[in-house]
Structure 1
Amino acid sequence: MEQKQIASFIVRFHLAEIDEQTGKKKWRIKVSHVQEDIEILFETIEDAMNFMRNIIGD
């Protein structure tokens, strides 16, 4: 029998600052894993994606 698994995430981006010289944006990224009621803050999308990959076991 095939076992189904669901992993739901809420991802929020908050603009923390913009470098006046380069115009580069710095984001705060909050990832919430719904099933485990976990919220973690990240500074890069790569770190946020790695967190989600670890949760789903990819």
Structure 2
Amino acid sequence: MSAEGVVQASLTGLRLGETICVPGLEDQSAVLDLLVTAEAALMFGGNQSTPATRYQQSADS
């Protein structure tokens, strides 16, 4: 994609009210939904009271 194509797509994205513009991504809504779901899983999974099992092994192992 040319620089002009990126600029044109970005300006169109602004006119469409898009918060995030990924000019080459056809089904942007579905991909962004997956990204939000993955981010939520990462935040929930990382917010635990103890380290993950793989980090609880002794230093000798």
Q: TM-score, normalised by structure 2?
A: 0.27
Q: TM-score, normalised by structure 1?
A: 0.28
Which structure is higher in RCO with an 8 Å CA cutoff and minimum separation 6?
A: 1
Where is the helix percentage greater, Structure 1 or Structure 2? 2
Structure number, greater radius of gyration: 2
